[in-house]
Every structure is written in C-alpha cells, then in structure tokens.
C-alpha cells in the first residue's frame, strides 16, 4: 500500500468536472460535477440506466467523455486507460473479465511485473503473489482451481484480488455485492474498510441499500445522467434515497393470493450434477416457493434442473406430464418459463432489438394469427411489457446490448413473465435492478401466482425471501434440509439450516 502513503496531503481522490457522455442521441451523462474524497467510501446510486456504470468507465479511462474532464489523485487529468492506470485508478466491472480457463493464481498475477519475468509468469513467485492478495477473501485451497469451475461469488472475489494486486489508489466497484454470498459481502466490506483506512479512495455502485448505509461515508445520487443529490450518509439517508429513487409512489407489497391450489410441479428422485439429491418436491398453483441456501449449496442447480436447463436422473412433471430433463425446449413445451442466473450470458440476444428479446419464441394468439405474425399487435405487446417492467430507454428498436445491466435483466424477466407459464423458475429475479423495478418484478411474480402459476424463486437475500415467498425450502449439499411455510420460520432458522448448525433451544421452540 505504499503507493497510498506516497500521496500528498490533498483530500481529493478524483475530481470529475462537467463530464458528459453521449451515445448517439442518448445522454448517458449530462454534465456531472463530483469529487470522490481520499480515505472515504462514496456510494453512487440511481435507477437503472441513470449513468452509474458510464461514470465509472469514464473515471477509469475506459470511455472518453464527450466533454468535461477527470482529474486523478495526483491532480493530473485522466485521458485514457493508461493514464488512469498510472494514476492508480482500478475498476472492478459488473461483468467479470477473468480468463475462465486459467487458474485462480494465474488470473490474480497476470500482467503483474512482481510475478513475471518478461512476458512469462514465474510460477512460484506468481502463486505466492496471488496467495497474498487472496488472503481474507478466499481460502488458499482455491489457488490452483480453474477459475471457471468456481461459483459466481468466488469468481467475483478473485476479480477483487486481481484488482488489489494492481496496487490501486482509487478503487471503483460496479455492483460488487450483486453476486456475493454473505461471507463474500463480509470479506469485501472488511477489505474496503482496510483500504480506506490506509488512505485509499473507494467508489461503489450498488443497488443494495445495506452497502450504502453500512459502508459509505458519502453518497451521490444520479438521475438521468445528472447528480441529483450529494452529501454525507446520515440516519436520514435511507429515507432520502428511497424517495429519490422511486419515480412514483408504488405499493410494493405483492397482491393477495388465494390459498394454494393443486400440485402443478412435482419432482421425484432427482440425482446427479455435483451431488444433487432431492427425493420429492411439490409446488402448488398460486404459491411462490423460495429456494434458499448458501452459495454452492445446490440452490441454483436445483432450479435449473426444475427448469429443464440441466440434465439429472429422476423425474419432473408439470400437471402430471413429465418432460425431458436437460431439455429447455421440452420444459417450455410443458409450460415452464425460466429466468436463469447468468442472464446476460445465456439469455440476452445482444444484437437483437429490445422488442425481439421480449417476444422471442412467442407463438400465442396475441402475436400470431394462423401462419401470420401480427406486427401491430407485436409492437403493442412489446410497448406494454416495456412499460410494465420499466425498461429504459422506452425504445423497442434499440439493440439489447446497448441497455444498462439492470435494464437487460428487466428484458429477461419481462419475457419469462409474459408467457402465462404454468411454472416460473426465477433464479435471483431482482439481481441488479433498482428499487422501483424490483417492486414491479415482485408484483408481476405475485400476480402470476394469483392467476394460478406455480412460482419458484431462488433468493440469496433474506429480505427478498421473506417479502416475496409463501414457503421456503433450504438446500444444503444438494439436498432439501428444510421445507416450511414462510410464516412458520424465522430468518435465524433458515440461516442455521443452510449452514447445518443448530439454534439454541429457546429459539427453536419459538419459531417466527
């Protein structure tokens, strides 16, 4: 960290002056003036598409601003990637940039002179170098693992170790906690506190209010590419942010659902895929079943088998008819809609329009009459979905790749929920979306259940689990270890069973 201590007494880490960024007619940044202080964590919050990622990319030299300028910690202007790197500005992006086929130690050490001789890594030195930077984030046992075999949370922590290995003075984090499990969040928070304690500057983009309130000293709220509010985090901040972010007052509570109906999905004897072992699971019409568990527990594996996205032994039936496990097509034909976890990789057709992404695969009477597609009806349906799921900008013809991360996610969710499926399997349905869209997605899942669908949602956040679901199953080591109505279980019990630990007797006697 000597680079940090070498800095002059100035309190300004980064100064952004009059920065605009245009993408054709879209003004992603419309004249941003903001300073990120040294020794301080600044949270940047705002609705999906408000310009947060664009601001981080401009500051870290990945994007040239259309006008305005950025000054780094030494007071020198940042004019591109190299000058940002020279200024010690390091970005950890939303989408991981690791080389999946390399080991963890190779990814952390890549490009570091301390670990190389010429263009080649010195294996022992590089491994030692990587181990130092991984400490406190992940156990040393992962050093030799091929990075693509790690779960998302661990990959994100490797990305963070690789960023710290670049000896940053300014650390820019774009949604770092979106994919982290609870341990990962704690490790990240500890690392950030240490780093700012030594004089570093941290800028963190996050949709999780918890990050802002627990971690940040300053907060910057962006709205439509402009700074809408900036100031210290105080006890009033939570209320202020929620008010500033919700475009309109909305009732986020799910609609009332009737009592659950008949069995819609029934799984039995599921075996395989890294120890998955579920004897029997039923999901009923009108209910939202939450799947909880630690990262790596098998919660996402179970969801993807139920959705036909991964083969396994055993059977899954929808209203009595089995479909072919491992065949999404067969599951879809049986009435299953799937919102996968890695949606930007597996679900977005980047070079297709927003409207094509929303309507892909739709063959129902709204869209088609006999052999003909109904173009006007298609446009209307796409416009309705854009409104309902708050996709921004409201442009059905825009390439999906040009949307912000949260808005791409709304496309995948909107597509799945518009099909009137019998079963909806949603893996982290609100990951990365803003507070307002989160409410819209919860309401859409609740209304699908109210109309008789069986909804299955993988929830890593307790808040979402308890707000959204009627029943919870907890998965540990590939097996269901708890299955309970949500009204009869406490957060402590869910946590304890996911960890395989026991609660003190007094708590076990009084669940809820």
Q: Footprint of ligand ATP on this chain (CB under 6 A)?
A: 23, 26, 28, 46, 48-54, 393, 402-407
* Residue nearest ligand ATP by beta-carbon distance: 406
Burial of 193 (0-12, 13-18, 19+ CB in 10 A): middle
In terms of CB distance, is 317 or 402 closer to ligand ATP?
402
DSSP string of 470-495, one letter each residue: SEEEEEETTEEEEEEEGGG--HHHHH
Min separation Cβ 375 and ligand ATP, Å: 25
In terms of CB distance, is 94 or 106 closer to ligand ATP?
94
H helices of 75-226, in order, are: 81-86, 104-109, 123-134, 152-164, 182-197, 209-215
CA distances from 103 to 21, 113, 118, 137, 155 (A): 37, 18, 20, 16, 11
Min separation Cβ 47 and ligand ATP, Å: 7
Min separation Cβ 50 and ligand ATP, Å: 4
Min separation Cβ 406 and ligand ATP, Å: 3
In terms of CB distance, is 54 or 430 closer to ligand ATP?
54
In terms of CB distance, is 290 or 432 closer to ligand ATP?
432
Min separation Cβ 511 and ligand ATP, Å: 37
Min separation Cβ 80 and ligand ATP, Å: 17
Min separation Cβ 54 and ligand ATP, Å: 3
Burial call 41-58: b when 16+ CB within 10 Å, e when fewer:
bbbbbbbbbbbbbbbbbb
486: its two tokens:
């949500």
- 307's enclosing H/E stretch is none
What does the alpha-carbon distance between residue 252 and residue 243 come to, in Å, rounded to a whole number?
Answer: 14
Min separation Cβ 173 and ligand ATP, Å: 13
206: left (phi over 0), alpha (psi -120 to 50) or beta: beta
CA torsion angle 191 193 197 202 (round to 10): 90
Min separation Cβ 431 and ligand ATP, Å: 11
User: 86 with 79: CB under 8 angstroms?
Assistant: no
Min separation Cβ 405 and ligand ATP, Å: 4
Burial of 487 (0-12, 13-18, 19+ CB in 10 A): exposed
In terms of CB distance, is 29 or 417 closer to ligand ATP?
29
Min separation Cβ 353 and ligand ATP, Å: 13
- Nearest Cα neighbor of 386 from 396, 401, 374 is 396
What does the alpha-carbon distance between residue 354 and residue 408 come to, in Å, rounded to a whole number?
Answer: 9
125: its two tokens:
């030195």
Residue appearing with tokens 């992962």:
142
In terms of CB distance, is 403 or 421 closer to ligand ATP?
403
- Nearest Cα neighbor of 303 from 263, 338, 268 is 338
In terms of CB distance, is 244 or 473 closer to ligand ATP?
244
23: its two tokens:
């993408």
Residue appearing with tokens 């500005």:
89
What does the alpha-carbon distance between residue 412 and residue 307 come to, in Å, rounded to a whole number?
Answer: 15
Min separation Cβ 156 and ligand ATP, Å: 16
What does the alpha-carbon distance between residue 221 and residue 232 come to, in Å, rounded to a whole number?
Answer: 11
In terms of CB distance, is 39 or 393 closer to ligand ATP?
393
H helices of 198-320, in order, are: 209-215, 237-245, 299-306
In terms of CB distance, is 73 or 396 closer to ligand ATP?
396
Residue 190: phi and psi, rounded to 5, are: -65, -45
């Amino acid at each position: 960290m000597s680079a940090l201590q070498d800095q002059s007494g100035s309190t300004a880490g980064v100064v952004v002056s009059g920065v605009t960024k245009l993408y054709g007619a879209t003004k992603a940044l419309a004249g941003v003036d903001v300073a990120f202080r040294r020794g301080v964590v600044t949270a940047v919050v705002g609705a999906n598409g408000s310009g947060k990622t664009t601001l981080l990319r401009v500051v870290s030299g990945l994007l040239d601003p259309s006008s305005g300028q950025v000054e780094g910690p030494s007071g020198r202007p940042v004019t591109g990637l190299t000058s940002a790197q020279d200024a010690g500005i390091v970005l950890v992006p939303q989408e991981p940039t690791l080389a999946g086929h390399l080991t963890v130690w190779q990814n952390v050490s890549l490009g570091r002179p301390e670990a190389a001789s010429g263009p080649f890594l010195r294996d022992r030195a590089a491994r030692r170098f990587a181990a130092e930077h991984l400490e406190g984030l992940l156990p040393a046992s992962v050093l030799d693992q091929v990075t693509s075999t790690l779960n998302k949370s661990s990959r994100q922590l490797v990305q963070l170790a690789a960023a710290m290995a670049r000896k940053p003075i300014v650390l820019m984090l774009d949604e770092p906690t979106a994919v982290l499990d609870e341990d990962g969040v704690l490790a990240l928070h500890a690392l950030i506190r240490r780093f700012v304690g030594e004089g570093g500057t941290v800028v963190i983009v996050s949709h999780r209010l918890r990050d802002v309130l627990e971690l940040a000293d300053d907060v910057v709220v962006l709205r439509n590419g402009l700074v809408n509010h900036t100031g210290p985090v105080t006890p009033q901040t939570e209320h202020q942010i929620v008010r500033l972010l919700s475009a309109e007052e909305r009732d986020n509570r799910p609609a009332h659902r009737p009592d659950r109906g008949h069995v819609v999905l029934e799984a039995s004897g599921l075996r395989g895929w890294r120890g998955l072992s579920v004897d029997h699971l039923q999901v009923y019409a009108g209910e939202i079943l939450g799947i909880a568990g630690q990262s790596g527990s098998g919660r996402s594996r179970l969801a993807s088998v139920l959705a036909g996205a991964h083969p396994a032994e055993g059977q899954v039936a929808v209203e009595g008819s089995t479909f072919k496990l491992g065949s999404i097509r067969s599951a879809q034909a049986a009435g299953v809609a799937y919102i996968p976890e890695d949606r930007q990789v597996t679900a977005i057709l980047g070079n297709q329009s927003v409207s094509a992404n929303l309507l892909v695969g739709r063959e129902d009477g709204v869209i088609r009459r006999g052999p003909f597609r109904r173009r006007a009806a298609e446009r209307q349906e796409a416009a309705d979905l854009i409104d309902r799921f708050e996709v921004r900008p409201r442009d059905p013809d825009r390439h999906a790749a040009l949307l912000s991360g949260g808005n791409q996610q709304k496309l995948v969710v909107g597509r799945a929920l518009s099909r009137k499926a019998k079963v909806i399997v949603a893996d982290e349905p609100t990951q990365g979306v803003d507070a307002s869209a989160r409410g819209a997605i919860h309401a859409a899942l609740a209304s699908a259940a109210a109309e008789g669908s069986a909804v299955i949602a993988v929830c890593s956040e307790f808040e979402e689990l308890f707000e959204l679901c009627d029943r919870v199953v907890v998965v540990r080591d590939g097996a269901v270890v708890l299955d309970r109505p949500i009204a009869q279980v406490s957060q402590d019990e869910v946590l304890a069973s996911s960890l395989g630990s026991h609660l003190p007797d007094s708590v076990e006697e009084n669940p809820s």
